[in-house]
Amino acid sequence: MDKVTTTIDHSVLVNARKASRKKNLVSFLNKIKKNKAAVAGGIIILLYTLMFLIGPILAPYDPYDVQLDQKLQGPSLDHLMGTDDKGRDILSRILYGSRLSIGVGISAVFFGGTIGTLLGLISGYYGKWVDSIISRILDIMLAFPGILLALAIVSALGPSLINVTIAVGFFSIPMFARIVRGSTMEVKKLEYIDAVKTLGANDMTILIKHIFPNILSPIIVQASMRIATAILSAAGLSFLGLGAQPPSPEWGAMLSNGRDFLFTAPYMALFPGIMISILILGFNLFGDGLRDALDPRMKN
């Protein structure tokens, strides 16, 4: 009998939280819809998502097909973005490369976000010495400037796109952990957590079923902002020759290759650069809109 009562109480609590979350989400989306910058950023991100999904289907040529007799041709109707030093169609390479460039960013944020969230949840929930140790580790990770921590990791693991994903993900960990830690500390003080504790839920259940779903919004906001940094860092590392290796059509690597032909075929560096920049612009616009929607005081 006791058990039945517990289940009923529990489901009532969970349903109440779900309803409140849904209401918050609807009001949040309405705010975003009213923000022009966020909408413009959202459209750009959507277009890139489409390219990520169906880009290779749209590609007019094989991105790896070397046609030396057609090398270094400027933009034309046959090759809208021209051809590179090996006669490969730049447009096709960019469409295929979207999977690599965007994919690396998303994977790195997923990797860093998962570990960061776990650390933040544990740190914020248990507090005391657990929090102290994790916070000190995060302080150390944050003591490395910019992409230097990623560089250090790539230097040990060796240059490759997978290692760049790990490295970029790794240096995203402290940003997620900090935010999740703060949110967890706030949520764990709420009454419903006391209620589920009284009902006998263990720490794992509380963390995963009751705290995690309620701190999802800041995690999602952070992830959407980190993806831009991750894509940019990964492209930067590939540009340095430490990520994607030839003949990979990753945008940073294409840009690096194009740099060698700046005098004869500047479009080789132009198009991959434009693709990265517009994507980052989209994320920045969207991020600005998110910030305004979340914190109206920032809007001037």
Measured between alpha carbons, how far is 74 from 56 in angstroms, rounded to an integer? 22
Could you say which of 122, 161, 207, 232 contacts other proteins (CB under 8 A)?
232
Is 241 one of the binding residues for other proteins (CB under 8 A)? yes
Supply the Cα-derived Rg of the chain in whole angstroms.
23
Measured between alpha carbons, how far is 207 from 174 in angstroms, rounded to an integer? 19
**In the bound complex, what is the minimum distance in angstroms from residue 107's beta carbon to other proteins?**
19
Size of the site for other proteins (CB under 8 A): 46
Could you say which of 192, 247, 284, 294 contacts other proteins (CB under 8 A)?
284
Q: What are phi and psi of 270, to 5 degrees?
A: -65, -55
Measured between alpha carbons, how far is 197 from 25 in angstroms, rounded to an integer? 27
CB 159 within 8 A of CB 206: no
**In the bound complex, what is the minimum distance in angstroms from residue 291's beta carbon to other proteins?**
11
Give whichever of 119 and 255 is closer to other proteins, judged by the CB atom.
Answer: 255
Tokens 């290779």 label which residue? 56
**In the bound complex, what is the minimum distance in angstroms from residue 126's beta carbon to other proteins?**
20
Give whichever of 121 and 255 is closer to other proteins, judged by the CB atom.
Answer: 255
Give whichever of 56 and 103 is closer to other proteins, judged by the CB atom.
Answer: 103
Give whichever of 153 and 201 is closer to other proteins, judged by the CB atom.
Answer: 153
Among candidate residues 230, 240, 58, the one with its CA nearest the CA of residue 159: 240
Measured between alpha carbons, how far is 155 from 159 in angstroms, rounded to an integer? 7
Is 156 one of the binding residues for other proteins (CB under 8 A)? yes
Tokens 């490969």 label which residue? 88
**In Å, what is the CA distance from 70 to each residue of 90, 95, 176, 257, 259?**
12, 19, 47, 17, 19
Q: Which of residues 245-264 bind other proteins (CB under 8 A)?
A: 252, 255, 258-259, 262-263
Q: In this structure, what is the dihedral angle of CA atoms 19, 20, 21, 23, given to the nearest 10 degrees?
A: 90
Q: Which of residues 126-155 bind other proteins (CB under 8 A)?
A: 136-137, 139-141, 143-149, 151-155
Could you say which of 56, 75, 87, 159 contacts other proteins (CB under 8 A)?
159
Contact positions vs other proteins (CB under 8 A): 136-137, 139-141, 143-149, 151-159, 232, 235-236, 239-242, 252, 255, 258-259, 262-263, 266, 269, 273, 276-278, 280-281, 284-285, 298, 300
